A and B are shown apart, each in its own frame.
Chain A
Amino acid sequence: MAAAVEAAGMRGDAARAPWSERYFRYLLVAPATFVILLVGLFPFVYTLLVSFQNITMLEEDTSFQGLANYARLLADTRFWEAIGHTLLFLAVALPAELVLGFLLALLFLEKMPGRQIFIALIVLPVVVSPIVAGATWRLLFDNRFGPINQILSWIVGEPVTILWIVNPTFVYPAILLAEIWQWTPFMFLLLWAALNEVDKSQLESAEIDGASFWQRLWWIVLPAIRPVVIIALLIRGLDIFRLFDVVWGLTRGGPGTMTETISIYTYVVGFQQFETSYTAAMALVIILLLSAVVMTALDRVAIAR
């Protein structure tokens, strides 16, 4: 269909058309591409350069060190632990958000009184700034003045004084609860929209043919919503991989370095310890790792139809 417009505009007078018309399509993408490259490519090249040097807060050593920073990265257990923590968050939060979101979507699939209001209110956590979400949960989890321990004491019948964000046993459940609270509605909303698109007549005829609820779910509903599930998982997966705000608001990576994610560790090394060259190497490794994942994923799922 692009050819049609092209033909209409280019009808034999391409040579006489003004410059701004002939290069129209490139002029349109030029400013956007320039801005993206300005904060993308140029710093990327500069970072590549810096990652082979040895710049820290104390010395501006621009001699080339070869792969020293990358070798250090391989041996840096704190970096690998941070990757481990991030993957742990990913492994728990992503399936939890998917399953809970799906259950919510099923719950609100059929009409019920006030359904639109329920949905509008339940999705509110998604648009709360993640750092505000972290701060809010920090107040909720306070061992003395927060309501969570209070509610737990009502349930068990004796005072509960759990130090949620300090105690190594409870810090992960605390962060995960905040993360799942904020992003389950995201999954819910996408899956709910997808479920609404499922062909009703197909479901009805399957029901007439005697298919049970679970059979219909497995053979008709799940295949129909599969593309949306994959995209939702991709978006959320990449989001959790760069998890920063909620953890920062709750624990700042503590106690110790127990909940440090990749983003938090990179931040600490780059902006608190000022290990410029080392951070550059770290940022590059993260970009390369994720680019590979993203490119492969994008080839498989077409986000835009």
Chain B
Amino acid sequence: MRADRGLGLVLRMAAAVVALVFFLFPIYWLFMISFKTPDEIFSYPPVWWPASLQTGNYAVLFKDGDAWTVWNSLVLAGTSTLAATILGTMAAYSIARFGTGGKHYANWIISNRMIPPIAIVFPVFLLFVKLGWVDTYHGLIVLYTAFNLPYVIWMMRGYVQDVPLELEEAALVDGCTRWQVLWKIVFPVVRGGLFATAVFTFVFAWNDFLFALILSRSQVVTFPVQVTHYFGGQSNFWAKIAAMSVLGTVPIFIVVATLQRFLVRGISLGAVKG
């Protein structure tokens, strides 16, 4: 596969640009609608570039308090991520170092991640109704934590295996307890992997729609649920759909841009080191 020059490179660049346009155009369109005036949104034929980038659509969301749902998403995703990474790394360490529970326990953990959310959420809904946890922060936090734990355990197991055993042995010989070894040696060494894993659990919880749809009513509505509130039978609130979507999407884009190098390992459940 020799490096091709001239015509070959031009063709490849052309193909790359076509692919880029295809994958970015919907995102571009969403962003543009969020800046359009109602007249521009409902003009025929459609306008591709608004006359001015007015932010009135966003102002409405903040004035009505709808933008608050982004804060809800942040609280739920942030808290559940913190819980899942700490508990998950502890379990992962035990599994990686001591083989706790054997192969079946490890397989059971990851299979939890693969069951369809709709099948999980229905039993959970019945449980939460009994406990009075529907439409509460802690209800969704527990659910997101549980849903993300298998992922964290699976990913961190790989990172823990990369920790040099000599480090831990030296600390044990120096008189550290096992807990001290875990907090002072293992956690600092796997920090990079921990951070990357945490970001993905955050994205899962942030982007979740189904759990939040079923387990929230009015108090802990997250931004994906809020977006669907603007769909109407006859007329859709396009400006609000677009602006709300952008508010919820920009943070994720920023997060992902900062951790490009972890992306492959993160989305392949650790199968591809990338």
B6 interface hit (Cβ, 8 Å): no
Kindly list chain A residues whose C-beta atoms are within 8 Å of the C-beta of B271. 227-228, 231, 303-305
A144 to B169, CA, bound (A): 69
A68 interface hit (Cβ, 8 Å): no
Kindly list chain A residues whose C-beta atoms are within 8 Å of the C-beta of B268. 190, 193, 228, 231-232, 235
Contact A190 B30 (CB under 8 A): no
Q: Identify which of residues 133-183 in chain A touch chain B, using a CB-to-CB cut-off of 8 Å.
A: 133, 135-140, 144-147, 150, 181
A8 interface hit (Cβ, 8 Å): yes
Q: Choose the segment among A59-67, A73-81, A236-244 that binds chain B (4+ C-beta atoms closer than 8 Å).
A: A236-244
In the assembled complex, the CB of B28 is this many whole angstroms from the nearest CB of chain A, namely 10
B270 interface hit (Cβ, 8 Å): yes
Contact A207 B1 (CB under 8 A): yes
A206 to B12, CA, bound (A): 24
In the assembled complex, the CB of A90 is this many whole angstroms from the nearest CB of chain B, namely 13
Residue of A whose beta carbon sits closest to that of B44: A144
Q: Identify which of residues 179-215 in chain B touch chain A, using a CB-to-CB cut-off of 8 Å.
A: 179, 182, 203, 206-207, 209-210, 214
A256 interface hit (Cβ, 8 Å): no
A203 to B17, CA, bound (A): 28
A257 interface hit (Cβ, 8 Å): no
Kindly list chain A residues whose C-beta atoms are within 8 Å of the C-beta of B120. 39-40, 43
Contact B272 A47 (CB under 8 A): no
In the assembled complex, the CB of A4 is this many whole angstroms from the nearest CB of chain B, namely 6
Residue of B whose beta carbon sits closest to that of A295: B111
Residue of B whose beta carbon sits closest to that of A297: B114
Kindly list chain B residues whose C-beta atoms are within 8 Å of the C-beta of A38. 142, 146
A110 to B107, CA, bound (A): 37
Q: Identify which of residues 276-295 in chain A touch chain B, using a CB-to-CB cut-off of 8 Å.
A: 276, 279-280, 283-284, 286-287, 290-291, 294-295
In the assembled complex, the CB of A293 is this many whole angstroms from the nearest CB of chain B, namely 9
B224 interface hit (Cβ, 8 Å): yes
Contact B110 A1 (CB under 8 A): no
Tell me how many residues of A have a C-beta within 8 Å of chain B. 110
Q: Identify which of residues 1-50 in chain B touch chain A, using a CB-to-CB cut-off of 8 Å.
A: 1, 3-4, 9, 12-13, 15-16, 19-20, 22-24, 26-27, 29-30, 33, 41-46, 48
In the assembled complex, the CB of A63 is this many whole angstroms from the nearest CB of chain B, namely 18
Contact B122 A280 (CB under 8 A): yes
Contact B90 A42 (CB under 8 A): no
Q: Choose the segment among B51-59, B60-68, B147-155 that binds chain A (4+ C-beta atoms closer than 8 Å).
A: B147-155
B112 interface hit (Cβ, 8 Å): yes
Kindly list 9 other residue pairs between chains A and B, CB separation below 8 angstroms, not including A112-B12, A147-B46: A21-B177, A43-B127, A121-B23, A129-B249, A132-B248, A150-B46, A238-B116, A244-B117, A305-B271
Binding site for A on B (CB under 8 A): 1, 3-4, 9, 12-13, 15-16, 19-20, 22-24, 26-27, 29-30, 33, 41-46, 48, 87-88, 90-91, 93-101, 105, 107, 109-112, 114-120, 122-127, 142-143, 145-147, 149-150, 153-154, 157-158, 165, 168-169, 172-173, 177-179, 182, 203, 206-207, 209-210, 214, 223-224, 227-228, 231, 236, 238, 241-242, 245, 248-249, 252-253, 256-257, 260, 263-264, 267-274
25 inter-chain pairs at a CB distance below 8 angstroms, sorted by A residue, are A5-B165, A24-B179, A25-B97, A32-B153, A39-B120, A39-B147, A40-B112, A43-B123, A109-B1, A110-B1, A112-B12, A136-B30, A139-B29, A139-B33, A145-B44, A181-B23, A193-B274, A232-B268, A248-B228, A266-B122, A279-B122, A284-B119, A286-B116, A298-B111, A305-B158
